[in-house]
Amino acid sequence: MDVAQTAKRLKALYSAVVYDIMDEMGLPHQCLDLAIAPLDRSMQVAGPAYTVMAGPDMRERDEMPPNTKLADFGVFTQMYDGCVVVVGAAGERQSGIWGELMSNASRARGATGVVIDGGIRDGRLVREIDGLGVFARYTSPIESLRRSRIHDIEIPISMTGTTTSQVRVNPGDWIFGDEDGVLVIPKDALDEVLAKSEEAKDIEDKVREEVQAGVPVIDVYNKYGRL
């Protein structure tokens, strides 16, 4: 699978049509909490999930047990071209678990997006990073040290959902987000979701054209079965 080409195809769509297809496929609970929004409304994010598990933690650095997986800024070393960093903060609602320097480091490792079920710092500087779509629950000036901490990477994580309390994100599941919301597309369903979404968009383009031309809505709906 060509990650860049697949991301390009997704970004030519919009989250509403992709959600409709997943809903029809029996995957209705894949939308993250709608409070998780882009720092700039024009931002999109599309790519395989690079998962980061974080959460509230009041310990000092010297109180933490050794963690070879995260030592020497190991959170960045497994990132790859086209990935989307997905951070589950386990309900921490004060600090910015991610910031501008971490975002720049992620972009340098090839990440094209960051999605955080929590806070981010340095919002203005983050928005200026070229090629990085960033979605977060809130912005905060508050440092994460002694408030929250990254605990693990590239494992299944929980993100707050919209139609369900939690959405599971596995490493490699696809993330697609725009100003309407962020969707988690199971990696095994990606090809089918993408193909059907493109077909649906083509139909909606025809519907839009006929409605704008003044064709009665009922006639358009009867013809295409979508509105």
Q: Which residues does the annotation place in the binding site?
A: 99-102, 121-122
Going by the annotation, the residues of the binding site for substrate are 99-102, 121
State how far the Cα of 209 lies from the Cα of 152, in Å rounded to an integer. Answer: 49
Going by the annotation, the residues of the binding site for Mg(2+) are 122
How many other CB atoms are there within 10 angstroms of residue 90's CB atom?
19
Residue 75's φ and ψ, nearest 5 degrees, are: -60, -25
Environment class of 210 (CB within 10 Å of its CB; exposed 0-12, middle 13-18, buried 19+): middle
- Using the 8-state DSSP alphabet, how is residue 199 labeled? H
State how far the Cα of 46 lies from the Cα of 167, in Å rounded to an integer. Answer: 17
Which amino acid makes up residue 113?
G
